[in-house]
Amino acid sequence: MAPLDYDRWRVPPSALAIHLSIGQAYAFSVFNLPLSKLLGGAVASPDDWSVSQIGWVFSMAIVVLGLSAALFGRWLERVGPRRAMATAAACFAGGFFVGAAGIATHQFWLLLFGYGVLGGIGLGIGYISPVSTLLKWFPDRPGMATGLAIMGFGGGAMIASPLSVALMAHFRSATSPGVAETFLTLGAIYFVMMLFGAFTVRVPAPGWVPVHARGVVRATRTPDVVSVSARDAVRTAPFWLLWIMLCTNVTAGIGVLGQASAMIQETFPGRIGVEAAAGFVGILSLANLCGRFLWSSLSDHIGRRATYLTFFSLGTVLYATVPSSGRSGSIVLFVLAFVVVLTMYGGAFATIPAYLRDLFGTQEVGAIHGRLLTAWSTAGIAGPALVNYVREYRVMSGVPKSDAYGVTMYVMAGLLLIGLGAAWRLRGLQRSLATVGAERLA
Amino acid sequence: MNRAPASAPTSSPTPPPTPTRHWLPLIGAWLVVLVPSAWGISQVVLKSLALFR
């Protein structure tokens, strides 16, 4: 518990320390190739793990993230952010250590259990642990506060990717690619970083309000509602509409992110090489990062619903026009369209906690957010699968590779239309939820 | 019976304490997260330049 004169701007670094660490998950792909050549060395041997098999480790981590966030959300609200963050640190770092043992002994199940299950639990608890605390510290700017933390998740991959490559280069020897040693080092670094977050986080004293807003807390655009429990929230239509909105938006974005490198090279054959494609992926990551902060901060001013309506309507138009910009040969238009799309992908993640707070109050918002993250798990599997299978089907049907992504983009645009419908439908229900809240208060 | 003097203030509310900004821990905490972030972002920006070459 923080003293009444505590400076609330010391809380976001605690949240960022957690999210910057667990954001490593999105850089897991840097281990794909080295892990597939553990036995063979320069060339994979028949007993080596395949890249698609290794891909399951990341998928498992994302699925467990959603499940553990849903399962441990209420526990988190009970024990508070410090214990939750310390638990997340132990699980996430422990996942690296067990994973390192699996790599050193070449036992796939141990890697899957370590990084995928144990690490996934650390991801889930870590992701939701600072959210409700930040919402309580920043009642006047909830979107900005959670956007700041969730932006860290996007930034985590940017740190982890070059760091992992540097560590593997350092530990590489004639007999080992240095992945196990890199796992051990990363586990130790993230453990310290996440404990920093756990030890520095504070919850506000009951009744605390920001000093500039004492007397009148600046109202957000949505009326305050009484806090709804996580158990009751999942029984409401608004929760499931938000679930659909998050799932459709993330499915569309994640599918593009996973295939961005191959997509730009195949759309502009001969003009975009491997290095330039890596640059494209980097720009998309930056757009994802910036979108998390910018859109969630903007939502404090224009309202949550208007923000999501923008995501879905603008996103639909952009996805639908990408194939024609590809055919026209305009790399600039193609890149610009995806930059905007990826800012909205990140923005949807970062704005959802503030939307939940508007609808259900702050009391169990962490737990409700945790349950909503099952939408991410679903999208984490559906997005890449959708892009891959539609593309493969088109290529097998004789469509040139440069045109193979066209239908995928229309499918994504269709998904966003479903999200648009859900966002539209939420309006009426949002009003009735506020009315129920007012009645309960009366 | 004790009576309050007429000039004494009645029940005036205690003003809430104003946050004291301790700059060192504040800057220290932000540096812990901003330094690695800046390094990571600079790596990505350098890589992204390849698209414009």
Question: What DSSP string describes A242-286?
Answer: HHHHHHHHHHHHHHHHHHHHHHHHHHSTTTS-HHHHHHHHHHHHH
Of the residues A174, A208, A242, the one at which a domain ends: A208
In this prediction, residue B13 carries a pLDDT of 55
Q: pLDDT category, A127, cuts 50, 70, 90?
A: very high
Place of tokens 């990408």: A322
Query: Exposed, middle or buried by CB within 10 Å (0-12, 13-18, 19+), for A66?
Result: buried
> Does the CB of A158 have a partner CB in chain B at under 8 Å?
yes
Nearest CA to CA, how far is B28 from chain A (Å)? 9
Same domain for A271 and A347, yes or no, is yes
Within-domain flag for A3: no
User: A66: which residues sit within 8 A by CB, 6+ positions away?
Assistant: A124, A373, A374, A375, A376, A377, A378, A380
Within-domain flag for A284: yes
Residue B3: is its pLDDT beyond 80?
Answer: no
Residue A7 three-state SS: coil
Nearest to A383 by CA among A342, A407, A415: A415
Same domain for A204 and A241, yes or no, is no
The answer to whether the CB atoms of B50 and A155 lie below 8 A apart is no
What residues in A contact B26, CB-CB < 8 Å?
A: 7, 9-10
The answer to whether the CB atoms of B37 and A20 lie below 8 A apart is yes
Compute and round to an integer the Cα radius of gyration of chain B.
28
Measure the CA–CA gap between A278 and A276, rounded to whole angstroms.
5
Measure the CA–CA gap between A35 and A104, rounded to whole angstroms.
11
In this prediction, residue A225 carries a pLDDT of 56
Residue B25 three-state SS: helix
Mean pLDDT, residues A369-394 taken together: 84
Mean pLDDT, residues A388-392 taken together: 79
Measure the CA–CA gap between B30 and A253, rounded to whole angstroms.
30
Within-domain flag for A253: yes
The answer to whether the CB atoms of B16 and A286 lie below 8 A apart is no
Same domain for A195 and A283, yes or no, is no
Nearest CA to CA, how far is A18 from chain B (Å)? 10
Q: pLDDT category, B18, cuts 50, 70, 90?
A: low
Residue A44 three-state SS: coil
Within-domain flag for A222: no
> Does the CB of A109 have a partner CB in chain B at under 8 Å?
no
User: A102: which residues sit within 8 A by CB, 6+ positions away?
Assistant: A108, A109, A110, A111, A112, A113, A114
In this prediction, residue A219 carries a pLDDT of 43
Same domain for A175 and A263, yes or no, is no
Same domain for A43 and A176, yes or no, is yes
Same domain for A263 and A384, yes or no, is yes
Nearest to A103 by CA among A91, A115, A93, A94: A115
Within-domain flag for A215: no
Give residue-wise pLDDT tens across range A293-333: 999 999 999 999 999 999 999 999 999 988 888 788 888 88
ipTM of the complex: 0.82
A124 CA to centre of own chain: 11
In this prediction, residue A325 carries a pLDDT of 80
Same domain for A410 and A290, yes or no, is yes
In this prediction, residue A436 carries a pLDDT of 54
Least CB–CB distance from B26: residue in A4, A5, A9: A9
Measure the CA–CA gap between A246 and A376, rounded to whole angstroms.
7
Q: Which residue of B has its CA nearest to A6?
A: B19
Within-domain flag for A162: yes
Between A371 and A263, name the one with better pLDDT: A371
Within-domain flag for A219: no
**Which of B31, B32, B34, B39 would best serve as a mutation to test chain A binding (most A beta carbons within 10 A)?**
B32
In this prediction, residue A433 carries a pLDDT of 62
Of the residues A173, A208, A243, the one at which a domain ends: A208
Give residue-wise pLDDT tens across range A210-241: 766 544 444 444 445 567 888 999 999 999 99
* Neighbouring C-alpha atoms within 13 Å toward the C-beta of A178: 15
What residues in B contact A159, CB-CB < 8 Å?
A: 36-37, 39-40
User: A193: which residues sit within 8 A by CB, 6+ positions away?
Assistant: A17, A20, A21, B32
Query: Exposed, middle or buried by CB within 10 Å (0-12, 13-18, 19+), for A428?
Result: exposed
Same domain for A83 and A202, yes or no, is yes
Place of tokens 């419908």: A421
Mean pLDDT, residues A264-292 taken together: 87
Same domain for A295 and A427, yes or no, is yes
Place of tokens 């070059």: A162
Same domain for A304 and A430, yes or no, is yes
Contact map slice: A 190-229 vs B, CB within 8 A: 193, 196, 200, 211, 214
The answer to whether the CB atoms of B37 and A155 lie below 8 A apart is yes
3-state secondary structure chain A: CCCCCCCHHHHHHHHHHHHHHHHHHHHHHHHHHHHCCCCCCCCCCCCCCCHHHHHHHHHHHHHHHHHHHHHHHHHHHHHCHHHHHHHHHHHHHHHHHHHHHHHHCCCHHHHHHHHHHHHHHHHHHHHHCCHHHHHHHCCCCHHHHHHHHHHHHHHHHHHHHHHHHHHHHHHCCCCCCCHHHHHHHHHHHHHHHHHHHHHHCCCCCCCCCCHHHCCCCCCCCCCCCCCCCHHHHCCCHHHHHHHHHHHHHHHHHHHHHHHHHHHHHHHCCCCCCHHHHHHHHHHHHHHHHHHHHHHHHHHHHHCHHHHHHHHHHHHHHHHHHHHHHHHCCCHHHHHHHHHHHHHHHHHHHHHHHHHHHHHHCCCCHHHHHHHHCHHHHHHHHHHHHHHHHHHHHHHHCCCCHHHCCHHHHHHHHHHHHHHHHHHHHHHHHHHHHHHHHHHHHC
The answer to whether the CB atoms of A196 and B39 lie below 8 A apart is no
Of the residues A208, A239, A263, the one at which a domain ends: A208
Q: Which residues of B touch A (CB under 8 A)?
A: 16-22, 25-26, 29-30, 32-33, 36-37, 39-41, 43-45, 47-53
In this prediction, residue A304 carries a pLDDT of 94
The answer to whether the CB atoms of A214 and B53 lie below 8 A apart is no
Q: Which residue of B has its CA nearest to A283?
A: B48
A48 CA to centre of own chain: 30
In this prediction, residue A206 carries a pLDDT of 81
Same domain for A129 and A96, yes or no, is yes
Least CB–CB distance from A17: residue in B16, B33, B39: B33
What residues in A contact B24, CB-CB < 8 Å?
A: none
Measure the CA–CA gap between A77 and A169, rounded to whole angstroms.
42
Tell me the pTM: 0.85
Q: What is the largest CA-CA distance in chain A?
A: 73
Within-domain flag for A268: yes
Distances A384 to A179, A224, A273, A287, A381 between C-alpha atoms, Å: 25, 38, 22, 19, 6
Same domain for A250 and A183, yes or no, is no
Q: Which residue of A has its CA nearest to B42?
A: A158
In this prediction, residue B4 carries a pLDDT of 46
The answer to whether the CB atoms of A5 and B50 lie below 8 A apart is no
Domain range for A247: 230-441
Looking up residue A297, the CATH number of its domain turns out to be 1.20.1250.20
Residue B46: is its pLDDT beyond 90?
Answer: no
In this prediction, residue A55 carries a pLDDT of 84
Mean pLDDT, all residues of chain A: 87
The number of domains in chain A is 2
